[in-house]
Structure 1
Amino acid sequence: MASSVGVDDYALTRVPRSARYSWWSVAVQRFGQVSALSQFLLGATVGFGMSFWPAFLAFTLGSVILELITILVGVMGMREGLSTSLIARWTGFGRGGAALIGLAIGISLIGWFGIQSGVSAQGLTSLIGVLPDWAWALVFGLVVTAIVMRGFHSMAWTAYLMVPAFLILVGWSIISELTKHDVGALVSSAPPGPEMTLLQGTTLVAGGFIVGAVITPDMARFNRSGGDVVKQTLVGITLGEYVIGMAGVLLAHAVKTSEITTIVTSSVGWVGILVIVAGTIKINDWNLYSSGLGVVNFVGTLTGRRLNRAVVTGVLGVVGSVLAAAGILSAFTEFLTVLGVAFPPIAGIMVAEYFVVKRWRPELDAARASGTLPETAPVWVPATIVVWVAAALIGKFVEWGLPSINSLVVAFVLYVVAGKLGLVRGVGVSRTADAEPAHAV
């Protein structure tokens, strides 16, 4: 389905097999997400508060969490061909709970969109000037919005151009700065800023991409096999976390700041600004894309109206650009910490339902065979909401262990227990308006 303003991209239907892409096309976009500027910024944030080897351990623990979540929910998305907020209707949340997830994803990713646009705006002001930061934030945000409105195909071509450009430029930036220093001394040096604990560092690493992990079905629904999901996850997350993240750690030690703009411009000047712009475009298009899918599902559930994804994307892009102009970047670290405990329970519940409890799995299996959606979905699943809130609170307030792992594992265990006790029951029945075969865009 196309419109004069963009592509709907199967926002409320299954992605048919004929519209799937090769694993490489999806993997480039996954790598673009994890190896983009946000990872550089995360590495600098962690490195500012941790020495090299503790930071390495934090990235290792965070990566294991992210890879496990990403592969499991990605396989779900690939099998069903459904977006995160849509498949949630039959993986424990019901129509109402799925709408809440869509709203949460929409708000969170608009926040990310604002953070990334704000970083690029700072760089463009340094490189070109002419306009103030807030104006460049608006310009940059609107350019990315135009790309996303054209859908997955347009974003794939953006990845083919921007990911290699970013890696070449960031490689130049890293080598140029580190050749001025004794790398051995940087590895053994104390952190330049206030000390951060291993728990805090790991939470930041997991929180830095936890929303990206939870919304993996938005991307994996275009995959052709479970093996493709595993390959793109291992390549994208492992290389992105270690190569870009640990480079950010070393550069934070070298330049003694967590300000990413200062780091890259101090080493290669105006080329550093190109690093910022190239790195931001590729992560920001997916922030906006998944935000649009989440909001389309939320509004469709609330009002019964089927909104065009491209139109919603345009509106959200403007909102995100305004947030960037308003300076949302200042809330970066706190924002990541909150995401680190609020979103893992979503994945824990969905995985528990789909692979263990299977209360609604038969409906999904039957509908998938005919390329449709299940004809009905529960309106609410009260046990799920209780589990979600309880797991998030445990992740937030229990000091033992790692918050992201705590909230994920608690959600998984509580949901499985509730399922075995027969407490996972839907309240109300909602007919699925879009239970017709998917058709090509």
Structure 2
Amino acid sequence: MGGNEEQVKGKTTTEVARTGRGRAPSTAGGKGDDPSPQGRGGTEGSNRRGKRGSVTEQVSLFERVPASERLAWPDIAAILSGVVSSLSKLMGGGIVAFYAGCQMGGVTVAITFVLSFFLTYLVGKICYREGLSNNVVSRYYIFGKKGSAAGSLIWIFVIVGVLAVGTVQLGNAILFAFGWEGEAVRWALFICISCVWVVMALFGTKIIARMNAVFVVALFCVMGYVIYLIAADGQLVDAATHGILIPGVQPLEGFAYSVNYAIMTSGLMALFAADFTRFARKERDIAPVAATGSLFAIITYICGALVVYYGFDKSVAYFSAQGMDPLLAANAAVTNPGVSLVLAAGGVGLAIICLSQMKVETSNSIGGANAVSNLVHSLFGRKLPWAAAVVGANAIGLAFILGNILDQVNAFMSYGSILTSSWCILLITDYYIVRGKMGIGKVGIDMEAPEKAVHWRGVGTIAFVTVVGSALYATGMVGVPFLVVAPLTMVVYIAVSWLLRDKVRSGEIG
């Protein structure tokens, strides 16, 4: 793009990871509203480099990315590939294959790739142009300062929910590996694991960032070994062509379940990836980043389906011995891929699972803590100590576990799909259609201008479509809420914006 851009040298994956995990200060710190990448930070960020100890501190969530901190797209793509390689993603592969069957699961995989790519690309391009994180862009464009509490609540529900799911999956793998039993032991283990996430979020992010690539490679090596074992047993064809394997699940029901999971994770990846795409050197770099992240998600799905198949029978027997009926035992076998990895690789597999989950769950813990901190600040105007935010996020995660989130994962994914998709669609509609095509509101965030307390158009729209989508899903009228939520979000927001266009253009309302 400009001359400056060509002189920027790429940064390592470690630096990208550290950058994306910065905590937002309570006040904005950018410069002007120059829409070009070069204008987003000026020399101020560069001059601070020598005064600060980490890249995290150099580019906070409320600071536009300086030209000197922009990154080559493979560095950003490497981070996303690490994020999608986790037990929860492996579980997704099992859900898709076992609930929908391999043929319809293939349709779900195609939907996942297309939706994930376009949401990540469109949301990522907005954050690249602004040089700001998704949370900050959403705050200025669709939520408002106090209204951003809505985004924080969504983020807490989704990110901390995924954190809780991962904690239970890892805990169950450890319980299986060591043969531990009893509710007291189970809860003691979950609490200990949560304490590890707290410690790593507070003190271990640099270690995790440096080992990111190693963890990803190690996990894929173990999954490759599982696939080899399946092939050696002559079961690879059956593992890739079987139908629905969960007792009592009807084809449309299973397909809807798998699609809801795909939509939820696609929206989540788009919102999460936007915090990294803002560091891209050029706008055209967003496309390969989105494609790489989406491709690795699909690869992990496929590996997950095969891993769950490998250990399914023994996993069902293990959970049945705990008193579960056949349906619950089958569901537990699918949602706990860590058990299958332990069956295949023993202690080595368990160690790799622990390290891989540490990488992902530390990021989830930090993301949840950021949401808790922003929620408190937006509602009460007070800064929450970072340690308190981290502990609070993990405490909420334990509350999710107390509510048996893994047993309710279908409902969690379905409601999560409503929240993440409505957020993405709302931001895309606002930026590209309402502000872009219709000229209702300005494009380009002025960090120095006074913020509106609440953007009622955005908050009202997301609240309305969430209630409608949730009601239709809960009553069984709609199996895939996205089919209603996506068009309804666009129609409602465009209609409200058109009716209030004069007040928006005059700056009377946000």
TM score, norm. by length of structure 2: 0.73
Q: Which one has more relative contact order, counting CA pairs under 8 Å at least 6 apart?
A: 1
Q: Is the 1:44–1:252 Cα contact (8 Å) retained in structure 2? A: yes
User: Contact between 1:29 and 1:156, CA under 8 Å: does it hold in 2?
Assistant: no
Identity of aligned pairs, percent? 18
From 396, 406, 421, the counterpart of 1:329: 406
> What is the CA-CA distance between 1:54 and the residue it aligns to?
0.7
More divergent stretch after superposition (17-26 vs 95-104): 17-26
- Spell out, residue by residue over 1:297-330, the C-alpha distance to the aligned partner (whole angstroms, 9 max, x if none): 2222222234455652344235435755775432
Q: 1:50 aligns with which of 79, 100, 115?
A: 100
Query: Who is 2:63 aligned against?
Result: 13
**8 Å Cα contact 1:125-1:133 kept in structure 2:** yes
Matches within 5 A, 1:226-305: 226-241=283-298, 243-254=299-310, 255-256=312-313, 257-258=333-334, 259-305=336-382
Kindly provide the CA deviation profile for residues 339-376 of structure 1, in whole angstroms up to 9, marking residues without a partner as x.
Answer: 11122111111111122222443451xx3xxxxx2422
- SS of residue paired to 1:379: coil
Q: Does 1:361 align with 2:442?
A: yes
Q: Which has the larger radius of gyration?
A: 2
Q: 1:349 aligns with which of 426, 429, 433?
A: 426
Partner-residue secondary structure (3-state), 1:85? helix
Q: Does 1:76 align with 2:76?
A: no
Q: Within 1, Cα distance between the matches of 2:295 and 2:188? A: 36
Q: Are 2:274 and 1:200 aligned?
A: no
| Amino acid corresponding to residue 145 of structure 1 in structure 2 | V
Q: Hey, what does 2:488 align to over in structure 1?
A: 410
List runs of 5+ in structure 2 lacking aligned partners. Answer: 1-24, 26-50, 314-332
The aligned residue for residue 168 of structure 1 is 221
Distance 1:324 1:24, change over 3 A: farther
Q: Which amino acid aligns with 2:192?
A: V
Conserved in 1, the CA contact under 8 Å of 2:419 and 2:466?
Answer: yes
Q: Which residue is 2:186 aligned to? A: 133
Counterpart Cα distance in 1 of 2:154 and 2:442: 24
8 Å contact 2:222–2:345 — kept in the other structure?
no
Unaligned runs of 5+ in 1: 368-372, 431-441
The whole-number CA distance in structure 2 between the counterparts of 1:425 and 1:346 is 23
Structure 2 equivalent of residue 185 of structure 1: 238
Shift in Å at residue 37 of structure 1?
A: 1.5
Q: Which amino acid aligns with 1:127?
A: A
Amino acid at match of 2:201: V
Pick from 54, 75, 78: which aligns with 1:25?
75
Aligned 8 A contact 1:345 1:407 in 2 = yes
* Candidates 89, 103, 112, aligned match of 1:39: 89
Alpha-carbon distance in structure 1 between the residues aligned to 2:208 and 2:77: 12
Give me the whole-angstrom Cα distance separating, in 1, the residues matched to 2:403 and 2:443. 47
Which one of the candidate residues 120, 138, 149 is aligned to 2:170?
120
Are the equivalent residues in 1 in contact too, given 2:173–2:339 (CA < 8 A)? Answer: no
In 2, distance between residues paired with 1:429 and 1:173? Answer: 57
Distance 1:424 1:199 in 2: 42
